[in-house]
């Protein structure tokens, strides 16, 4: 991920890692050409310094977008990276855990990945100009996958 190579040198003393999440992180899954990634921090104690550094690189903090423990950032200057959504989460964030569990489960379960791909395709066709309905249409499937992933994690399989 080129964006990680760009950001890491500026942030490495403040962060734990930068991880790829979302549909583009699931091998073979159809996805919009937009990368989702999370900058993982130890805790919110270093968040003000991280915001300041990201600001010097042209990123603006946009709040949590309605999801606790996940901070959204937007680049204010044009770059040559493919489109992306950038988030910051503390390492103990429930949202971070959910994103990683969902990604890992789909990467390990071909049947679930195929079912999700079919659902996304159907929703994209049905809600071509309504992103909110598209997202809402995926919610139940995602929650079910997360329950199964949690069960596997509890049983030591994930």
Q: Taking residues 21-28, what's their average pLDDT?
A: 93
pTM of the model: 0.89
Indicate whether 157 pLDDT > 70: no
Bridge-based pairing of strands 59-61 and 84-90 is: unpaired
Domain boundaries along the sequence of the chain: 2-154
Q: pLDDT for 28-62, tens place per residue? A: 998 888 899 999 999 999 999 999 999 999 999 99
Q: What is the mean pLDDT of the chain?
A: 93
**Span 2-154 CATH architecture:** 2-Layer Sandwich (3.30)
- Asked if the model's pLDDT at residue 152 lies above 90, the reply is no
């Amino acid at each position: 991920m080129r964006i990680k190579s760009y950001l890491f040198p500026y942030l490495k003393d403040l962060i734990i890692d930068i991880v790829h999440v979302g549909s583009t992180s699931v091998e073979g899954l159809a996805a919009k050409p937009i990368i989702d990634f999370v900058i993982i921090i130890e805790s919110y104690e270093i968040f003000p310094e991280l915001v300041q550094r990201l600001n010097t690189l042209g990123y603006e903090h946009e709040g949590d977008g309605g999801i606790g423990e996940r901070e959204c950032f937007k680049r204010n200057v044009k770059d040559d990276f493919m489109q992306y959504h950038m988030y910051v989460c503390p390492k103990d964030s429930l949202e971070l855990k959910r994103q990683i569990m969902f990604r890992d489960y789909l990467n390990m379960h071909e049947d679930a990945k195929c079912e999700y791909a079919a659902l996304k395709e159907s929703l994209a066709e049905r809600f071509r100009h309504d992103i909110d309905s598209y997202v809402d249409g995926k919610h139940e499937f995602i929650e079910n996958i997360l329950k199964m992933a949690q069960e596997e994690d509890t049983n030591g399989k994930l």
